[in-house]
Amino acid sequence: MKSNNIPFSPPDITDKEIEEVVKVLKSGWITSGPKVVEFEKKIAEYCETEKAVAVSSDTTGMELVLRVMDIKEGDEVITTPYTYASTSNVICHRGIKPTYVDVAKDSFLIDINKLEAAITPKTKAILSVDIAGLPVDYDAIRALLKKINREDIILISDSAHSFGAKYKGRRVGSQADFHIFSFHAVKNFTTAEGGAVTFNNNHFHGFDDLYKVFKYTALNGQTKDALAKTKLGAWQYDILTDGMKCNMTDMQAAIGLAQFTRYEGMLKHRAALVSLYNKALSDKPWAIVPCLKDASRESSYHLYLLRIKDFTEEKRNKVIEMLAEVGVPTNVHYTPIPMFTYYKSLGYSISNYPNTFDQYKNEITLPLYSTLSLETAEYIINEVIKAVEKVK
């Protein structure tokens, strides 16, 4: 095996996806059209939700929800400092400084026990994050909001990692008021770029047709999409709001529809890789293996976030360097948001989020993807064990 050929997270693209894109290209219709409509229906069916809206990314999907729900400057949004920057950036784009709640001890997920103290009369939304594909405890958050008589707070889930995950036996996608998924190239399920918003109440907050509002807001506020305007004499349209431009194309939707035909098998292979890693690490007292399945939740097996007991950042980084030398690519998910220059300039300090820092400082993300062979995964985990035990 040529270890220097191991990628970290390549997309799983087959001839099926290529053929479907070629069909779209030959059809003469490449922007938002019939394939997007078909893809949205398939997502809603898969996630057991009333509606799905396909968008250009998870990031734009989150911002679309905040915009349509009129969450703006003067409001407060609670989220986690342990996530990718987009979760916080979209809040800043609305003129709001995020309110951070630390993750629970020895967890990558927001500490629900600390939520109540962060809620104020100005709190309009909680934007939780399903790190590595493991769902947060949505019902526990809802129970808290009911207990404190704040069910007016909108529960939004950045479910970028958790497409295909399960919560209490059901696919993720209907538990929060809104779930936003990512179909970026490195995700389990890809459309190259892209994402989707799912929701289970098309009349949420009194809307007559929330799906329709999302669709025109995602298209510069325009009442007719390109397909509708192709009908003879149908050139006229209206602008109902100063909307965004974040619609998905039919080319992307075609990739997604092809991915659906293989996705269950892709998830099963990811689970097998996780099982292999877990078994190899089972007798290592220094290994803190990630929680990817418990009595009520099963992740989408998007990331394998290994933590190394008693390691410092320096030791963790040394292991990453050693693995790179033998051709094993790794990563760190994530640098906490308060550690970045922009967020430090807003007054945030990582010292206020000790659990977040503890999760980050000794974390190494191992390769985990549906085209990774079990043989290569075995090589990876053996090299990880050797590197850690040399540094320890």
* CATH code, residues 15-260: 3.40.640.10
What is residue 4's predicted lDDT score, i.e. its pLDDT? 63
pLDDT in tens, the chain (392 residues): 445 689 999 999 999 999 999 999 999 889 999 999 999 999 999 999 999 999 999 999 999 999 999 999 999 999 999 999 999 999 999 999 999 999 999 999 999 999 999 999 999 999 999 999 999 999 999 999 999 999 999 999 999 999 999 999 999 999 999 999 999 999 999 999 999 999 999 999 999 999 999 999 999 999 977 666 566 666 788 999 999 999 999 999 999 999 999 999 999 999 999 999 999 999 999 999 999 999 999 999 999 999 999 999 999 999 999 999 999 999 999 999 999 999 999 999 999 999 999 999 999 999 999 999 999 999 999 999 999 999 98
* CA 388/CA 308 separation, integer angstroms: 8
CB 181 within 8 A of CB 198: yes
Q: In this predicted structure, what is the pLDDT of residue 31?
A: 92
- What does pTM read for this prediction? 0.96
Helices 374-391 and 313-325, axial angle in degrees (round to 10): 130
Q: Are 158 and 128 in contact (CB under 8 A)?
A: yes
Topology, domain 263-391: Aspartate Aminotransferase, domain 1 (3.90.1150)
Tell me the domain boundaries of the chain: 15-260, 263-391
Q: What is the chain's alpha carbon radius of gyration, rounded to the nearest angstrom?
A: 21
The encoded tokens of residue 170 equal: 């059901």
**Residues of the chain by 3-state class (helix, strand, coil), percent to 5:** 40, 15, 40
Q: Which of 40, 144, 154 lies closest to 91, judged by CA?
A: 154
For position 2, what pLDDT does the model report?
A: 46
**Torsion angle in degrees (nearest 10) through CA of 230, 234, 239, 243:** -20
The identity of residue 222, as a single letter, is: Q
**Tokens encoding 306:** 């290994």
| Residues across the chain | 392
3-state secondary structure of 347: coil
Residue with token string 């808290």: 144
Kind of pairing, strands 51-55 and 195-199? antiparallel
pLDDT for position 235 = 76
164 touches 267 (CB < 8 A): yes
Q: Is position 187 annotated as part of the catalytic site?
A: yes
Catalytic option among 187, 231, 268, 392: 187
Bond from prior residue into 334 cis (ω within 30 degrees of 0): yes
Q: What is residue 202's three-state secondary structure? A: coil
Q: Check whether the bond before 353 is cis (ω within 30° of 0).
A: no
